[in-house]
Amino acid sequence: MPKLEDLIAQAKSEKGEGEEVIKIIGENKKHEDNVLVASYGDVKIYKVPGQDLLHYEIPVPRYLGEEKILITSLIDIATKVIETETETYKTSQQRRFAYRNKILDIINSTPELKVPPNSKEFYTDVVLKEMVGYGLIDDLIKDDNLEEIMIIGPGKPVYVFHRKYDMMTTNVVYYDDKDIKDLIDKIARNIGRRIDIQNPLLDARLPDGTRVNATIPPVSVNGSTLTLRKFREDPLTIIDLLNLKTMSLEIAAFLWLATDGFGAKPANILISGGTASGKTSTLNILSSFIPTNERVLTVEDTAELNLPLSHWIRFETRPPGMEGVGEE
């Protein structure tokens, strides 16, 4: 393992004397005719004339020239230094806190990198998002109002599906397919999976239950893609469906009787539908009608269910190994 001094010297030589440029995407591209529809936190949602979809906007720095080299150098140094001090963190918050302190220590102890004093916190947060978070889409993932985040290739806006405003474009753009591929590889490593030319598809879930679907060339012709589907921390209930008029009182009562079966003969129920049509939500809700004295076992390709049951055993199918078996 190289010493910290050697890593600093290498980063300094790679950093060079390039032009320092940071562009904040979004604020400088707003058109005077855009109509502000909603805002919360750093998020602004606009209606853009001539566009069918609303536009979701957050402050997104784009790093060019010397700044990108500096950030890459800091990530490289921090990764190697932190790896030499293996620690176990009980929560992601503890991990973020520990990494943040270490990154800040590295910046403070490397004046050779010429990090501006008033920018140390900024660079610390950027490197932290790249190492522990999800880089450019980290703030999107933290927005509980978003159900789905879709990266559809380089040079194209990231799309999001909002709980209230449906599908929207964003001002987040990946300009290099390598950046998308690096993010996919990072997610795959963190969950113990792999994606490569032999296995160009990834279907998995994050520890918090977020569904992950990713593809890489040659399967996806226009570049790597990544879709993250988030699930509500507070699942919908039958009362929610009734209040939203998604389901009538009569149908809800019928499904209750079919699921409970008067404690004697519950019915077999098949739930089918298109992508994001509400299959998982419906099954979660119907499970609340299962009597508490029953034992429930579930088997899923990718664990998504969040059943309101105590006596519940979850199973997940195993992805194929190197020999190509394991799904049965």
User: HEC string of 156-221?
Assistant: CEEEEEECCCEEEEEEEECCCHHHHHHHHHHHHHHCCCCCCCCCCEEEEECCCCCEEEEECCCCCC
- Per-residue pLDDT, 162: 95
Give the chain's mean pLDDT: 83
**What is the pLDDT confidence band of residue 16, given thresholds at 50, 70 and 90?**
very low
Q: Where in the chain is the domain with CATH 3.40.50.300?
A: 238-316
Q: Which residue reads 């998020």 in tokens?
A: 43
- Per-residue pLDDT, 40: 95
* Helix spans in the chain (H): 4-15, 66-83, 92-108, 120-131, 138-142, 177-190, 238-243, 249-260, 279-287
* Residue pLDDT, tens place only, 122-173: 888 888 888 888 888 989 998 999 999 999 999 999 999 999 999 999 999 9
Architecture of the domain delimited by 137-230: 2-Layer Sandwich (3.30)
> Comparing C-alpha atoms, which of 9, 103, 21, 25 is closest to residue 66?
21
Q: d(Cα 317, Cα 120) in Å, to the nearest integer? A: 45
If phi > 0 it is left, if psi is from -120 to 50 it is alpha, else beta; for residue 268 that is beta
- CB-count exposure of residue 129 (10 Å: 0-12, 13-18, 19+): middle
- Per-residue pLDDT, 151: 97
Q: d(Cα 289, Cα 213) in Å, to the nearest integer? A: 31
Q: d(Cα 16, Cα 139) in Å, to the nearest integer? A: 31
**pLDDT at position 190 over 60:** yes
- Per-residue pLDDT, 82: 73
Alpha-carbon distances, residue 207 vs 89, 196, 281 (angstroms): 14, 22, 19
- Per-residue pLDDT, 145: 92
Reduced to 3 states (helix: H, G, I; strand: E, B; else coil), residue 296 is strand
Domain 238-316 fold: Rossmann fold (3.40.50)
- Per-residue pLDDT, 86: 44
Q: d(Cα 222, Cα 242) in Å, to the nearest integer? A: 43
**What is the pLDDT confidence band of residue 121, given thresholds at 50, 70 and 90?**
confident
Q: Where in the chain is the domain with CATH 3.30.450.370?
A: 137-230
Contact 271, 279 (CB under 8 A): yes
Q: Mean pLDDT over residues 76-84, rounded?
A: 73
**pLDDT at position 206 over 60:** yes
**What is the pLDDT confidence band of residue 27, given thresholds at 50, 70 and 90?**
very low
Q: Mean pLDDT over residues 285-298, rounded?
A: 89
Contacts of 264 (CB under 8 A, 6+ apart): none
- Per-residue pLDDT, 252: 93
